Amino acid sequence: MAHGDEGDVLALHHQIFSSALQGDWFEWKYVQGQGDGVGIWNDKQDLIAYCGGFPRRMLHHGQPADFLQVGDLMVSPEWRGVLTRKNPFWYACEHLYTTRLGKNHPYKVGFGFTHARAARLHIKQGLSWDGGNVPHLQWQVAQRKPRAGPQWLWKTTLLAAHAPHFRATVDRAWQAMQREAQEFTIGIRDADYFSWRFNQRPDKSYRMFTLRRIWDLHPLGVIVLSQPSHPGETVQWIDWVGPVRHLAQACLAALQIADQDGAATMTAWASPAVAALLASTQPGYLAPAAEICILTPSDITPQQLPALKLWVMAGDTDFL
């Protein structure tokens, strides 16, 4: 894919998802984010199928590894099902995966998040394995208001995107997190990534809050929440960077902020490894938020999938 394909990719995105994305989104994802993709055009030079993704630097059980996160899977409606199993969509995906993933290619593993129907199709076509799903958690804010106890020992403060201490705060939190995340496969959450993912994204807005104990000089971590569009809207807990052992405390702090927003509920994406750490907060479970696809040309076997122990929250997607 070349930079000159921007208009075709945006036009197909508008057609498939009824989106209103503009060139600044393409710049953010495919230029700043170094995204990559494969497209197929018909004889009229219309883009009819596209498979795109972006690099994701991961820690795989403590070791750095380059993964490819696939996020834009599109085929023009009139071409769905054409050529049965190997339609233009299959050819776009197959070419991207086999030329970018696995041994002697840039990325060790390819993965993505999608809905159940698309996941079944990808598996049926031999393009991916079933990586499980991402539970969708929900808390009733009124029921989780802190009673008398140690909650007052913790303080949250809004972290502005252009604060002089932004980079140092996020990097310190990530250093603490990675020390405790050796058992997981987790996306790197340093200041470079946080700036790109949450501050530079042109089509969405987020809020960040530092979390610290009242006697600490520096924050322990950073909570990322959605930006409500109206009072009382459900708050989505997007991400956390900080010590793994304080994840549940970060959840309680996020619930306090949701209460201040006047929200009745707070939701979060949490892969099974993350959800297990939040059990003490007693979340409710909604329908799965997404299916995880692990792409078959990856340098991994189906038998090794459970050992990945993926750390996934909503911030790990490219669409929330």
The yes or no reply on domain 3-134+289-316 and CATH 3.40.50.720 is no
Tokens of 291: 């299916």
DSSP characters for 251-317?
Answer: HHHHHHHHHHHT-SEEEEE--HHHHHHTGGG--EEEEEEEEEEEETTSSS-GGGHHHH-EE--GGGS
State percent of the chain over pLDDT 90. 80
175-178 CB contacts, 8 Å cutoff, 24+ apart: 176/220, 176/221, 176/242, 176/243, 177/221, 177/241, 177/242, 177/243, 177/244, 178/59, 178/62
| Pairwise pLDDT comparison (4 vs 267), residue with the higher score | 267
Residue 144's pLDDT band, with cuts at 50, 70 and 90, is low
Closest C-alpha among 44, 50, 43, 42 to residue 6: 50
pLDDT of residue 81: 61
Q: Which residues touch 97 (CB under 8 Å, ≥6 apart)?
A: 51, 110, 127, 295, 296, 297
Rounded CA-CA distance 178/202 in Å is 28
DSSP conformation class of 107:
B
Tokens of 255: 């619930």
Please indicate whether the domains covering 3-134+289-316 and 137-288 agree at the CATH topology level. Answer: yes
The yes or no reply on domain 137-288 and CATH 3.40.630.30 is yes
Average pLDDT over residues 245-257: 96
User: In the chain, which ranges are continuous DSSP H helix?
Assistant: 6-17, 23-26, 88-100, 116-124, 166-180, 191-194, 247-261, 272-277, 305-308
Q: What is the pTM of this model?
A: 0.94
Domain range summary for the chain, segments of one domain joined by +: 3-134+289-316, 137-288
DSSP conformation class of 233:
P
Closest C-alpha among 254, 210, 211 to residue 234: 254
Average pLDDT over residues 199-218: 95
Average pLDDT over residues 113-138: 93
Is the Cβ–Cβ distance between 251 and 207 less than 8 Å? no
Tokens of 184: 């997981």
| Pairwise pLDDT comparison (69 vs 145), residue with the higher score | 69
DSSP conformation class of 82:
T
Q: Which residues touch 99 (CB under 8 Å, ≥6 apart)?
A: 105
Residue 149's pLDDT band, with cuts at 50, 70 and 90, is very low
Q: Which residues touch 62 (CB under 8 Å, ≥6 apart)?
A: 178, 181, 182
Q: Which residue has 């994701």 as its token pair?
A: 56
pLDDT of residue 83: 47
